[in-house]
Amino acid sequence: MTVTLFIPCFIDALFPRAGISMVEILERLGHKVVCPNEIACCGQPPFNSGYWDEARTIAAPALEKLKDAETVVIGSGSCGAMIKKFYPELFKNTPQAELAKQVASRTWEFSDFLVSKLGVTDLGAKFPHKVTFHDGCHGLRELGIKTAPRALLGKVGGLEFVEMKEESCCGFGGTFAAKFPMISTAMGEVKCAAATETGADFIVSNDSSCLMHIQGLLSRQGSKLKTIHLAEVLNQK
Amino acid sequence: MSFVSQFKSLASEKTRDLRHRSVIRTALRSYEVVRDKRKAAFQSWESARQAAAETKWEAINHLDEHLVALTAKLEARGTKVHWASNGAQAREIISQILRDKKARSIIKSKAMTSEEIHLNHALEKEGYTVVESDLGEFIVQLRHEAPYHIVFPSMHLTRGEIKDLFQKELGDAPSDSPEDLTMVARRVMRQKYLTADVGFTGGNFAIAETGMISITENEGNARLTAALPKTMITLMGIEKVLPRFADLALFLPMLATAGAGQPMTCYNTMYSGPRQPGECDGPEEWHVVLLDNRRTELLANAEQRDSLHCIRCGACLNVCPIFRNVGGHTYGTTYSGPVGAVITPHLRGLQDWKHLSNASTLCGGCTEACPVKIDLHHHLLQNRRNASTSEPAFFEKLAYQTFAIVANEPAFWSLAKKIGWLTQPLQSLVKGTALDPAKAWTKTRELPPQPLESFKDWWKNRK
Ligand code: SF4
């Protein structure tokens, strides 16, 4: 099938390896990947700050670009939730209301797409490390994605998986991290401590934005623990 | 200091306080263990939540009818029902009763509505003696503090701190064992019960069908508060109504489970009137004060009406990572945590309290925990929208407008990435200093290194 890959703004600018891995994986599975150059962002930053007009200014052209897409795949639970869950809300009572619902129903978070839509868990990847998984809250609670990433990691050769004892938000929260840095940092420290306690070498997640926050704290602490996007793990040979 | 600066400054202080963090975390982790055990004892916790949400929906959407039915039943058994539109009216009604009764001292059981209307403060100013009889409330009252948590008022204190407090304030504390400390408090309180002119309580549920008010407690103090003094006053929000007596079969275990991880709270008492002819105990007079205090405005708000479903169990506070790190007092509100962040802007003014709705990652843990399925974290988002629409912050709006222009034009977006890449070395020179535009981030975190080739560059070059 033709997969329209939605690359979130921060993956484009800061974590291109995650996006590249998704392209390579999808192509290896025999799908045609397209990636509209005109879409830069889903509009979540203004949306979450309450500036819904500005969010619509960004989201409306993105929606138009996705109008004819058969399947949209997005490598972030957070931006995935924006499209799947919040676009219908944002465009309620506007001429794009129907389109927003249609696009939402055709949009998949990357790991969920592989497991639930394609029925694939074994990608033949090898990653001989001990890893733990961080569930981004939007992917987990807005989209209900919990088992898919674990099913995928379960099939990675040499990978040893260990859960964190405590399930908690990493404290990123978009602009929250800058508006309330002290709270964001404290939450991040709790997360880092839980991950460190597992003895893992890597924290894997399907959300680069959470990982950016967690890695930022780990690097400052001088920790050896590293973060990596799920797609990159699945693309290791 | 504005409410937001006060919040930020207390949040900075508390998040640095590692001892506080560990006290709260330890307490709440043991709560989680027992709560999960109790949840598992339900045939289906999720169906129970759904049923509770539907019952509350029915209660709130027919609040007018239920309140009329409740009042009629209460009055039929001799209870005096008063209606208070706001805190000032409620305080005046209560003062008037105290004056009529020539009361001097009041014993209270736990009532968050009394915190909401700042009752203790007002009564003390009028010269009354007010004693809290719930152990946790008694402790924070001795410290001249507001309750830290709506269910566990003194959870921020260790046994050692409580021992020192009792030693200092009551001159008695043989050890820091809970039993000893409870005995000390009990000795003090028993005296107060016998001399109090008025017993004051809150209420957990009001049953419209039977005209009863249900009070839930673990210590038996509310029973004594209600039974010993000649006059009883109960203050409760109008949203506490449940349609039927049978609804308690769900709500009592649910409140106990979500609130404290108990199968049932130790004492659940249904009050249906003052002492009736031929009865040997109970108050001679019972006054029930029903408080609006802007609840009807929430009722008129279709989008957030479900926040009136709240049974004040505290579950959303317990799971909230913000609450766990900043603590209850930082909020500066009667109702803290997620539910406080949702309703305080409605109860006390959106612009003054919108920061509570902003101070969230929207993780949704609260919504998942709420036994009556209030859509808490989405309400935070709606409060943000309402606040930004009615009074946009100039620079923030401008920033998003600019961002929208850049994001919508591939050439601008590409340029922005290049500028970002080019200015990285400069940024690292000023990192963490006052000149650093990313200081809020870099004070505690590293920025991710930005690669020269973005995803889109790679995509273009590859074709
Ligand atoms: S909002 Fe829900 S979880 Fe929070 S206190 Fe109220 S009933 Fe409990």
Q: What is the DSSP string of B223-284?
A: HHHHHSSSEEEEEEEGGGEES-GGGHHHHHHHHHHHHHS-SS-SEEEEE-SSPPTT--SS-S
Whether the Cβ atoms of residue B295 and residue B335 lie closer than 8 Å to each other? no
Separation in Å, CA of B97 to nearest CA in chain A: 45
- Domains of chain A are 2-117 (3.40.50), 130-234 (3.40.50)
Mutate which of B31, B45, B295, B311 to test ligand 1's pocket (most atoms within 8 Å of Cβ)? B311
Q: Which two tokens stand for residue A160?
A: 């040893």
For chain A, give the percent of residues with pLDDT over 70.
100
pLDDT over threshold 90, residue B431: no
Under 8 Å between Cβ of A49 and A82: no
pLDDT band at B427 (very low <50, low <70, confident <90, very high): confident
Contact list in B for residue A38 (CB cut-off 8 A) is 408, 410
Q: For residue B200, is pLDDT > 90? A: yes
- Looking at chain A, the whole-number percentage of residues with pLDDT higher than 90 is 97
Taking residues A172-200, report their average pLDDT. Answer: 96
C-alpha torsion B4→B9→B11→B13, nearest 10: -170
Looking up tokens 């006060």 gives B6
What pLDDT shows up at residue B429?
Answer: 81
pLDDT score for B463: 66
Tell me the nearest-neighbour CA distance from A122 into chain B, angstroms.
25
pLDDT in tens, B370-414: 999 999 999 999 999 999 999 999 999 999 999 999 999 999 999
For the CA of B317, the nearest atom of ligand 1: 4
Taking residue B79's Cβ as centre, other Cβ atoms within 10 Å add up to: 22
**A45: closest CA among B388, B104, B281?**
B388
Say yes or no: A61 contacts chain B, CB-CB below 8 A. Answer: yes
Q: Which of B55, B254, B312 to mutate to test the pocket of ligand 1 (most atoms within 8 A of CB)?
A: B312
Contacts with A40 from chain B: Cβ below 8 Å = 406-408, 410, 413
Greatest C-alpha distance within chain B: 94
Q: Is B2 exposed, middle or buried (0-12, 13-18, 19+ CB in 10 A)?
A: exposed
Q: Report yes or no: B336 and B355 within 8 Å, Cβ to Cβ.
A: no
Domain annotation for chain B: domains and CATH numbers: 1-41+309-391 (no CATH), 48-293 (3.40.50.10420), 406-462 (no CATH)
Average pLDDT of the residues in B418-435:
83
Helix axes A97-106, A52-65, angle to 10 degrees: 60
**In this structure, which amino acid lies at residue B90?**
A
Residue B195: which pLDDT band, with cuts at 50, 70 and 90?
Answer: very high
Q: Which residues pair with A228 in a beta bridge?
A: A204
Q: Cα–Cα–Cα angle for B340, B221, B201, nearest 5°?
A: 50
Instruction: Report CB contact under 8 Å: B388, A49.
Output: yes
Angle at the Cα of B145 from the Cα atoms of A179 and B130, rounded to 5 degrees: 145
ipTM score here?
0.95
Q: What is the pLDDT of residues B268-310, one digit of tens each?
A: 999 999 999 999 889 999 999 999 999 999 999 999 999 999 9
In the predicted model, is pLDDT for residue B422 greater than 70? yes
Mean pLDDT of B357-370: 97
Is the CB of A16 less than 8 angstroms away from the CB of B453?
yes
- Whether pLDDT at B325 is above 90: yes
Q: How far apart are CA A109 and CA A2, in angstroms?
A: 15
Distance B311 CA to ligand 1 centre (A): 6
State which of B32, B318, B339 you would mutate to test the pocket of ligand 1, scoring each by most atoms of that ligand within 8 A of its C-beta: B339
| Mean pLDDT within A131-136 | 98
Report pLDDT for B424.
84
**Cβ contacts of A180 on chain B, cutoff 8 Å:** 8, 11, 358-359
For B410-437, the DSSP string reads: HHHHHHHHHHHHHHHHHHHHHTTSTT-T
Q: Is A193 on the interface with B (CB under 8 A)?
A: no
Encoded tokens for A111: 């790991």
3-class SS at A84? helix
- Name the nearest CA neighbour of B254 among B334, B336, B312, B335: B312
Give the span between the Cα atoms of A141 and A207, in whole angstroms. 13
Closest partner residue to B445 (CB to CB) among A9, A37, A217 is A217
Nearest alpha carbon to residue B359 among A10, A218, A48: A48
- Separation between Cα atoms, residue B233 and residue B284, nearest integer Å: 11
pLDDT band at B433 (very low <50, low <70, confident <90, very high): confident
**Mean pLDDT of the A91-119 span:** 96
Q: Rounded to two decimals, what is the model's pTM?
A: 0.95
